Amino acid sequence: MDSAPAWRRLPDARFSPAAVRAAARSFRPEDGPVSVVTMLLTGDTEQRSANEGLATLKKRADFLQVQKGRKSVRNSLILQVRDRRDGSSLVRTGFTVSRKVGNAVERNRVRRRLRAALGETAPVAARDGHDYVVVGRRMTLQTPYRTIVDDLASAFRSIHRAPASDR
């Protein structure tokens, strides 16, 4: 039996408001063959929807897939998205901070600030079944934190407002 270790980060029950919204939005009874992990997570009849919360992108191939999708550019960051269309409602996120941004300390700082900003915005703005990649830029280091959060939220809006791409 496959023991799906990639989904160790399971939904945090304490993020209730967002969790409820996500649950309501992703209630799709006609969802066909659900993944094994989904089965693992949906035993409770009380929240029978496939609320799988957030997971982390870990494979280089996944990042390359997302790179092919839509993107939205802000001064402080770039947001990329891909609809997996695999029936799972899991939202996966990842970060890309290249060597261009700075040395290891600066790259760490950029990633941590982006992670914090994503934690604030993603529960509301992210859509089920999508993969997101946030790309750090040199500017991320200088922009105030509130601006990063605003940028990220607006990037989420614009990336989903446009007509759904065929990919």
Partner RNA sequence: UCAGCCGGCCGGGCGGCCGCUCCGCCAGUUGCUGAAAGGCAGGCGGGGAGGAAAGUCCGGGCUCCAUGGAGAAACGGUGCCGGAUAACGUCCGGCGGGGGCAACCCCAGGGAAAGUGCCACAGAAAGCAAACCGCCUCGCCCUCGGGCGCGGUAAGGGUGAAAGGGUGCGGUAAGAGCGCACCGCCGGAGCGGCAACGCAACGGGCACGGCAAACCCCACCGGGAGCAAAACCGAAUAGGGGUGACGCGGCAUCGGCGCAAGCCGAUGUCGGGCGUUCUUCACGCCGUCACCCGGGUAGGUUGCUUGAGGCGUGCGGCAACGCACGUCCCAGAUGAAUGACCGCCGCGCGGGUGCCUUCGGGCACACGCCAUACAGAACCCGGCUUACAGGCCGGCUGACGUU
**Binding footprint of RNA, residue count (CB under 7 A):** 37
Based on the shown chain and the rule CB under 7 A, indicate whether residue 34 belongs to the binding site for RNA.
no
Binding to RNA, residues 9-28 (CB under 7 A): 9-10, 12-15
70-73, strands of its sheet edge to edge: 54-56, 91-96, 130-136, 77-83, 70-73
CA distance 52 to 111: 23
In this structure, what token pair is assigned to residue 146? 């509130």
Task: Report 81-140 residues binding RNA (CB under 7 A).
Answer: 94-96, 103-105, 108-109, 111-113, 116-117, 119
Token pair belonging to 148: 């990063």
In the set 29, 32, 33, 144, which binds RNA (CB under 7 A)?
144
Least distance to RNA from the beta carbon of 83, Å? 19
Q: Quick one: 36 or 73, whose CB is closer to RNA? A: 36
For 43, other C-beta atoms within 10 Å of its C-beta total 8
Residues in the chain: 167
Across-strand partners of 93? 56, 132
- Within a 10 A sphere around the Cβ of 37, how many other Cβ atoms? 19
Residue 8 binding RNA, by CB under 7 A: yes
Rank residues 45 and 162 by Cβ distance to RNA and give the closer one: 45
Give the residue with the Cβ less far from RNA, 45 or 164: 45
Chain Cα centroid distance, residue 37: 18
Using only C-alpha atoms, the chain has a radius of gyration, in whole angstroms, of 16
**Residue 40 vs 70, nearer CB to RNA:** 40
Residue 145 is a binding residue for RNA (CB under 7 A): yes
Q: Where are the beta strands (DSSP E) in 2-90?
A: 54-56, 70-73, 77-83
* Residues at the interface with RNA (CB under 7 A): 2, 5, 8-10, 12-15, 39-41, 43-44, 56-60, 63, 94-96, 103-105, 108-109, 111-113, 116-117, 119, 141, 144-145
